[in-house]
Amino acid sequence: MLSRGTGRRPRADCRPLVGLCVRVHPALTQRGYHRVTDRSNGEVIALIRILSYNLRKNRATGELLDLAASTTADVMCLQEVDTGALPNEVATLTLADSTKRNRLGLAVYYRKDRFRLHDTDTFELKKSLHDRVLAPAHERLVGTLLEDVQTGNQVVVASFHAAPLTALNSLRRTQIKAAHAELLRLGHGAPTLMVGDYNYPFFTQSLGERVKASGYDMALSDRKTYTRYKFFKGHFDFVTSAGLDVRTVETLPRGDSDHMPIVVSAEYAEAPA
């Protein structure tokens, strides 16, 4: 597990590559991540590793190549990205889909040697007053249906960005519920993992209970993911899932964004007896 320190990510020389300014992150580069682990009975299980990052209006784009490679991510979900400037590939990841009409866009990348892309879609959710006036995001969800070539399982992975804190928690709960319903239709009941910026730092326990009642699990990361403002620190970025066992959610050190990246490690849940 990564250190719980809250220092900013160390900077290094930038070099252009596939349209990105790359900042090498020595602390991550030196760490090894494992895609498989052994159960106590010796069975080998395959983990899915999902990197999620709110780029703060595209400011942290230059970190993506380093993060994707250093975390050995299988899927990368982005929020607040300039989708018009996105490269088709970042390290070993290929762009699956992105929003088209957002000022603050969403995108999903995946490893083509690990997954086959079966379907993908973007979705509008109920708008807040902020959305109607400033129009930062017409689409607040990107979902992808993938087939895991390693196991044969199908899985839906989605990038989600809820309405900002100017909206009520009740609206964000409505958006989360609607997003889960859209992903259920997209995947025809396949295991689902929705990760991103939920903008829900307060009353998360109550949200977790509501999510649980609807058939989903909610997992927060090991550390807070937003610490820019004194009164708005907390877990903004987390994950909800169904049909998957989320083993860990790691918060990475802060970079050029006001959010910290998170890495989710999950495995397919065992079918009930």
Q: Dump pLDDT digits (tens) for 172-210.
A: 889 999 999 999 999 999 999 999 988 766 667 888 798
In the 8-state DSSP scheme, what is residue 24? -
pLDDT value of position 128:
56
Give a yes or no: residue 46 inside a domain: yes
Q: Dump pLDDT digits (tens) for 42-89.
A: 555 679 999 999 999 999 999 999 999 999 999 999 999 999 899 999
Rounded CA gap, 39 and 137, in Å?
Answer: 43
Give the angle subtended at the CA of 264 by the CAs of 236 and 83, to the nearest 5°: 65
Residue whose C-alpha is closest to residue 218's, from 187, 182, 242: 242
Q: What is the CATH number of the domain that holds 19?
A: 3.60.10.10
Give a yes or no: residue 106 inside a domain: yes
Rounded CA gap, 64 and 48, in Å?
Answer: 18
Residue whose C-alpha is closest to residue 195's, from 28, 79, 30: 79
Residue 156 has pLDDT above 70, yes or no: yes
Model confidence at 264, pLDDT cuts 50, 70, 90, reads very high
Give a yes or no: residue 7 inside a domain: no
Mean pLDDT of the chain: 79
Domain hosting residue 192, numbered range: 14-268
Give a yes or no: residue 4 inside a domain: no
pLDDT value of position 220:
87
Task: State the DSSP H helix or E strand holding residue 248, giving kind and residue range, or none if neither.
Answer: strand 244-251
Q: Dump pLDDT digits (tens) for 6-37.
A: 334 433 333 333 333 333 333 333 333 334 44
pLDDT value of position 160:
95
Give a yes or no: residue 1 inside a domain: no
Higher pLDDT, 226 or 120: 120
pTM of structure: 0.80
Domain count, the chain: 1
pLDDT value of position 69:
93
Give a yes or no: residue 9 inside a domain: no
Burial of 229 (0-12, 13-18, 19+ CB in 10 A): exposed
Residue whose C-alpha is closest to residue 102's, from 77, 88, 123: 123
Q: Dump pLDDT digits (tens) for 95-114.
A: 999 998 877 899 999 999 99
Q: Which residue shows structure tokens 């090991």?
A: 222
pLDDT value of position 133:
47
Give a yes or no: residue 6 inside a domain: no
Tell me the HSE value of 17 on the side-chain side, using a 13 A CA sphere: 14
Q: Dump pLDDT digits (tens) for 127-145.
A: 655 554 455 557 889 999 9
Bridge-based pairing of strands 244-251 and 105-111 is unpaired
Give the angle subtended at the CA of 98 by the CAs of 93 and 104, to the nearest 5°: 115
Estimate to the nearest angstrom the gap between the alpha carbon of 228 and the chain centroid. Answer: 20
